[in-house]
């Protein structure tokens, strides 16, 4: 995919606005500025990978997209709708909690550490949010949950508890849980970094299959091969800024900055 394949705000109609669009985003924790003016666009059906060293701001950016963190400056749009804010600087926070809830239910996040409920079966874990948050019919949700567990390859584990599964199986259950919300986009925060190499490949296979389906995804990853294989666009962050971005063939095949060349050399 070439840079021309990525639509810009100017060329998009209201009906095909990006799922997520960020402009000049700043995020601080007290006096520590973590994001220093980030721009990013996630068009519908695209996979955007965020790469960079630990502490570069990747996970913070993802959490700001999902409004799990409040940013201090800049604009966040979800399918063309701007998040409404009140206050300024460190006192800035969303003005409309109903809007936040609606956006979050459409941006399902898969975390590094699975976050499954230990006292619930895998099926109950997958069903919980659609039933309690979206108030969907339990019978319909159960059918969908079983479908998604089959999709990620653990349909036979529906009635067991998380502690009985391997790490790779637990992460696949977490992906099924995210899918069962029927989100507009999936947000992955280092989904394979807590797994050993063999189990990691189980999860990579699922993520690749989701990418091939044309799902919109934001992927924070340390796995450069995964980013190269599934991404439409890759963003390399360094110390809270976008150091370089572009299609994977360009970033991985012909990096333009010394920092990216050094990062890729260190992770090879």
Tokens of 66: 């999902």
Report pLDDT for 198: 86
User: For residue 15, is pLDDT > 90?
Assistant: no
With contact defined as beta carbons under 8 Å apart, do 90 and 28 qualify? Answer: yes
Q: Work out the average pLDDT over 59-81.
A: 96
pLDDT > 80? residue 81:
yes
Q: Which value, in Å, is the radius of gyration of the alpha carbons in the chain?
A: 18
Domains of the chain by start residue, with CATH = 3-106+183-267 (3.40.50.300), 113-182 (no CATH)
130 sits in which H/E element: helix 122-132
244: confidence class by pLDDT, cuts 50, 70, 90: very high
Alpha-carbon distance 61 to 68, whole Å?
Answer: 10
For range 103-130, the mean pLDDT? 95
pLDDT single digits (tens) 191-231: 998 888 888 999 999 999 999 999 999 999 999 999 999 99
Cβ burial of 128 (10 Å; 0-12, 13-18, 19+) is middle
Dig out the tokens for 242 from the structure. Answer: 């976008």
């Amino acid at each position: 995919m070439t840079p021309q394949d990525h639509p810009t705000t100017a060329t998009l109609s209201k009906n095909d606005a990006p799922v997520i669009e960020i402009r000049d985003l700043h995020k601080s924790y007290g006096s520590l500025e973590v994001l220093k003016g980030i721009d990013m666009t996630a068009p519908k059906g695209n996979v955007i990978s965020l790469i960079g060293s630990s502490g570069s701001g990747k996970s913070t950016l993802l959490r700001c997209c999902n409004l799990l963190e409040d940013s201090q400056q800049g604009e966040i749009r979800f399918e063309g709708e701007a998040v409404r804010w009140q206050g300024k600087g460190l006192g800035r926070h969303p003005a409309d909690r109903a809007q936040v809830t609606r956006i979050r239910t459409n941006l399902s996040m898969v975390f590094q550490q699975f976050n499954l409920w230990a006292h619930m079966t895998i099926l109950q874990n997958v069903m919980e949010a659609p039933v309690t948050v979206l108030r969907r019919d339990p019978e319909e949700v159960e059918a969908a949950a079983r479908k998604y567990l089959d999709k990620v390859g653990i349909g036979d584990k529906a009635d067991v508890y998380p502690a009985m599964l391997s790490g790779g199986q637990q992460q696949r259950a977490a992906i099924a849980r995210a899918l069962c919300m029927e989100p507009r986009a999936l947000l992955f925060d280092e989904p394979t970094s807590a797994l050993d190499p063999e189990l990691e490949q189980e999860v990579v296979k699922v993520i690749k299959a989701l990418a091939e389906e044309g799902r919109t995804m934001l992927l924070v990853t340390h796995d450069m091969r995964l980013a190269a294989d599934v991404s439409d666009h890759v963003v390399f962050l360094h110390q809270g800024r976008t150091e370089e971005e572009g299609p994977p063939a360009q970033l991985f095949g012909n990096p333009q900055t010394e920092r990216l060349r050094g990062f890729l050399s260190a992770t090879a």
